[in-house]
Amino acid sequence: MEDTRKSQMGDLRPADLDSSFPVASVELPKLLLASASPRRAEILRIVGWPFETAAVDIDESVLPNESPSNYVDRLALAKAKAAAFVRPASLILAADTTVVVDEAILVKPRDDGDARMMLETLQGRWHTVITAIALISAKYSESRVAHESTEVKFGAMTENEIDWYVATGEPMDKAGAYAIQGIGARFIEGIKGDYFNVMGLPVRLLYKLVKY
């Protein structure tokens, strides 16, 4: 399969980004993470990034004819703005992740049947995971948004395996109905790109956005 990884950071130049954002060298600026996701919090702890959390709630419906990348970009920025409204902070981080297969956006499953349908669609083939991150500097009322794409191959699954995995409950709050860092890892055959991106927070992309 052709490697179709794409990062929007390729379009950004240091001169394009205002110096009002904090510049990271060794010390990293404390983030307000606009998310209740334990996975994103875990990633920030793993890489030693200081943060606190503030969960936000927004409408995550897909707009008519909206592309997957525009969808995650829009939601990430909306989450960051919602957090900035209720919890002003020096630097606010929000993210949104979706799974794409055959140009279809797979969001979090509505119920067990929806999760089962997603897994049946993904099994035995490649798909794309896109995560957008948005940064808002509340002090200067400025924002940055970018996204990362990673290709993931799901292994073939029997009906019994699908039923068992759905019954674990793990798929229910995950885009695409699986967690690469959880039980779902046993069904992953290959990955092309950023592992953390599939978990929900592309750390290298975040570092670049903060640094430059």
Active site residues: 96
The CA radius of gyration of the chain, in Å to the nearest whole number, is 17
Q: What is the DSSP annotation of 34-102?
A: ----HHHHHHHHHTT--EEE-------PPPTT--HHHHHHHHHHHHHHHHHHHS--S-EEEEEEEEEET
The rounded distance, in Å, linking the Cα atoms of 128 and 151 is: 5
SS3 content of the chain, % helix, strand, coil (to 5): 40, 25, 40
